[in-house]
Structure 1
Amino acid sequence: MSFFKDDFYSTRVKRNSRSTPGSWPRTSRGSRQGSMFKVALISSMASSVLVAFLFYFAFDHPGSSPSKPASVAAQPIADTYDRIITAAAKVGPAVVSIINQTKDGQLQEQQGGPDASQSASLGSGVIFQKQGGKALVITNAHVVSDAANVQVVLETGEKKQAKILGKDTITDLAVLEVDDKGITTVAELGDSKKLRKGEKVIAIGNPLGFNDSLTDGIVSNLKQTVPVSLNQDGIYDWEEEVIQISAPINPGNSGGALANLDGQVVGINSMKVADTGVEGIGFAIPIDDAMPIVEQLLKNGKVLRPYLGVYSMDLDSYLDNHILSDDNGSDAGAGDGSGDDSGDVPPDESQDQPEPPLKVPDGVKQGVVVLEAVGPAKDAGLKFNDLIVQLDGHGIGSTLDLRKYLYNQKKIGESLTVTYYRDGKKGELTVKLVEKTEE
């Protein structure tokens, strides 16, 4: 006889039915198969419940072992793409193209020169403020370098004449002003300190003249130190702390927006590594570092920095030039020296003066050779061929060290103690730092 009563699983059998007297109860083949099916079904359901129960206590139950693997909520790829589209639509209209007609180009145009059209350079900028009928644009200083005429081109293609309110070569930032007619979008500035390594970012600009172009990548490094040559002479005389990104940056992208996926500007695209075979290494100025400079440019037209007044050359470069000059049978010249805040070589008249020999004491391997002292340095008593080795007791091994200490540690009006060697003898003097008023 079956394990279950037939009416347990079949509605075709009446509850009060009985077997025929004198005969054994009969179970049909279909009934036996149904019974076996029911057993299998119940067993399967019980197994499923047991497995779910075990998984609940092993992985999801609050009281389970703390050593269980943590679940990671992966952001859907489609959602990331949607955010890129939304962010680009938000910040894109605030990114403009910048046309810089240089002074040489303007002169060639006036003279009808054949290469006049080639003397205009292209860059990008970001509209960050509107007030009083004017719109303000932030860009790189090198984008408007040597400018005679600057135009801003909106996303709509409309061109506007721009005025340079201020620029700073050290930080490579500049601010332009245009009338705000037709400008409806101002970029929202974000917080670059909140960026995370690996975060997705987008770069919007005018690469190679292709307006309103967009590239994407990730934040590769939050604070990368990059040496730069301010006057492009091959000598590193400053260091920029920048955001390294993998988003492609090409000529014309400079000054454009680096934005997060919320459509907030977190950096100003500045430069890239252009060596052969190098890809995906671009740099942007953090917006948190840029805005204090922008405020000074708006207020003063420049960044006020302390001025020492020395044209200088690194000791090792000086000695190398001297050795080469001796080998060629001639005197050592001024070479490619750079000043504390100008990056220029000394005036030509200093070359006509006979050069006293530079005496370097034993054990002194680094320092800054004074090629010419002017302004406050001259007034304090510094002279040609003095070898500066310390400022306020801090070792100075290069012109870069000298400039960084001045700009980062000192203020206009403060006094600076200079330790130096003259004719091999150690000396010390005090210089009162002033504001540099000439370019």
Structure 2
Amino acid sequence: MADSRSRAPRLVASVAVLCCSVALVAGCSASGPSGTETSTTQAAQAVVRKSGNDLQSDYQKVIKQALPSVVQIEAGSSLGSGIVYDDKGHIVTNAHVVGNEKTFKVTTANSEDTLTAKLVYSYPDQDLAVVKLDKVPSGLKAASFADSSKVQVGQIVLAMGSPLGLSSSVTQGIVSATGRTVSEGGSDGGTGATIPNMVQTSAAINPGNSGGALVDLDGQVIGIPTLAATDPELGGSAAPGIGFAIPASMVKTVAGQIVESGKVTDSGRAALGITGRTVVDDSYQAAGVAVVEVKSGGAADKAGIEAGDIITRLGDTDITTITSLSEALAAQKPGERTSVTFTRNGIEKKVDVTLGEV
């Protein structure tokens, strides 16, 4: 994923942009179009102009409403974005933006003054974090968060943040898909998290946009831009028009717990309670997840899974890598029952498991 600190999974996609136009056909008479045809043409042109002006007005209204709630965050040598969560100075951003830093410099959209902030808590499993301003400036405006369940494909959205250090920048696009499960890279600055239910957007997501706002035309935040897809055929550079945002409902759930308790108390993320690694078969193809360690009292421990077992299936989903296991678990909820198929000493076994929580 290409963002301020990480790279996206290798996704390759083609995006077809359909441009709608109105064909205005003049009459065939040698004397030119009739008065009625001219009047119709002028009316159609007026409709197009009004429609364009209305959309432009909507954009400007949304930017005026939402942009003041988007900030720029400096975390050591890294740069990202954040969203004002409340009027007490809490700012929500990506965990990969804060990295290992504890103190930050923050610049708001309506001021050149640099503010200071401290880390409240970072939650890498969902790539979210909250920092708090040491001093809350007057006029600080908290963002309004939308209900993610109402987000629809085709909605017009605006991405706001500091791409490439260009603070208070805005790009536009649409919601391309919802419900995406995406795994970050962990070796190049990302948290390595597998994040479910992400919003896919065509709005440009560039390094520095991470932690900013994906906003609908009602001025509400529908997600936090986090990742951009990379195209292996382009040498790993960003694939245009494919970005991902953590949905607003998850942002509110995690940030709300951090603000209230100083940590995440209920992740809502299912877990087996193991440490594992990908193993390969005799053809050097990924063939499952070897259990390295089992958490005492965890879901796997209670089901009788042991270190050395090789997990090959979760429910009806084949498991070949640690990433595929993470993605399968991301689709589950704590407390749900499923089955785990694994091999032990070359013998295949299958057990029922009640999933635990991350």
TM-score, length-scaled by structure 2: 0.70
Cα distance change on mapping 1:308 and 1:196 into 2, 3 Å: closer
* Residue identity opposite 1:180 in structure 2: V
The counterpart of 1:143, out of the listed 71, 76, 97, is 97
The answer for the alignment partner of 1:97 in structure 2 is: 72
Q: Is the 8 A contact 2:145 2:248 kept in 1?
A: yes
The alignment-based identity, stated in percent, is: 33
Change (3 A) 1:264 1:435: closer
What are the Cα deviations for residues 300-336 of structure 1, in whole angstroms up to 9, with x where unaligned? 5135456544332334x36555x9xxxxxxxxxxxxx
Q: Where does residue 397 of structure 1 map in the other structure?
A: 319
- Per the TM alignment, residue 151 of structure 1 is displaced from its structure 2 partner at its CA by 2.1
Structure with higher helix content: 1
Secondary structure of the 1:93 match is helix
**Is 1:376–1:433's contact at 8 Å kept on the other side of the alignment?**
no
Q: Choose the corresponding residue for 1:83, options 58, 65, 77.
A: 58
Aligned pair in 2 of structure 1 residues 211, 193: CA closer, same or farther (>3 Å)?
same
Q: Show the 5 A alignment for 1:87-126.
A: 87-101=62-76, 120-126=77-83
Q: 1:421 aligns with which of 336, 343, 348?
A: 343
Matches within 5 A, 1:47-58: none
Could you tell me how far apart the structure 1 residues matched to 2:214 and 2:125 are? 20
1:388/1:396 contact within 8 Å kept: no
Structure 1 unmatched runs, 5+: 1-47, 52-71, 102-119, 324-364
Secondary structure of 2:125's counterpart equals coil
Instruction: Provide the residue aligned with 1:261 in structure 2.
Output: 217
Q: 1:292 to 1:233 in 2, by over 3 A?
A: closer
Partner of 1:313: 277
Alpha-carbon distance, 1:180 to partner: 2.1
Shift in CA distance, 191/310, structure 1 to aligned 2, threshold 3 Å: closer
Structure 2: stretches of 5+ with no match in the other structure: 1-34, 37-46
Specify which of 408, 411, 421 is matched with residue 334 of structure 2. 411
- Which of 135, 146, 160 lines up with 2:115 in the alignment? 160
Helix, strand or coil at the partner of 2:86: strand
Structure with more contact order per residue of length (Cα contacts < 8 Å, sep ≥ 6)? 2
- Name 2:155's counterpart in structure 1: 199
Match of 1:284 in 2: 245
Which secondary structure state, in structure 2, belongs to the residue aligned with residue 248 of structure 1?
A: coil
**Residues 251/76 of structure 1: CA separation in 2 closer, same or farther (3 Å cut):** same
Distance (whole Å) between structure 1 residues aligned to residue 341 and residue 278 of structure 2 = 15
Secondary structure, aligned partner of 2:73:
strand
One-letter identity of the residue aligned with 1:145: G
Pick closer, same or farther for the CA change 1:97–1:219 going to 2, 3 Å.
Answer: same
Matches within 5 A, 1:8-407: 76-101=51-76, 120-130=77-87, 134-155=88-109, 156-178=111-133, 179-232=135-188, 238-275=194-231, 276=234, 278-298=239-259, 299=261, 301-302=263-264, 304=267, 308-315=272-279, 317=280, 319=282, 366-376=287-297, 382-390=305-313, 395-398=317-320, 399-404=322-327, 406=329
- Name the aligned partner's letter for residue 136 of structure 1: H
CA displacement, residues 101-152 of structure 1 (integer Å, 9 cap, x when unaligned): 1xxxxxxxxxxxxxxxxxx10000111212xxx2221111111111142222
Shift of the 167–74 alpha-carbon distance from structure 1 to 2, 3 Å rule, reads farther
CA-based RMSD of the aligned residues comes to 3.6
Bigger proportion of residues as strand:
2
Which of structures 1 and 2 has the bigger CA Rg? 1
Aligned length: 301
- Which string of whole-angstrom CA distances, capped at 9 and with x for unpartnered residues, describes residues 288-309 of structure 1? 2322222233335135456544
Whole-angstrom distance in 1 between the partners of 2:332 and 2:155: 33
Task: Tell me which amino acid in the other structure corresponds to 1:301.
Answer: K
Distance 1:149 1:281 in 2: 32
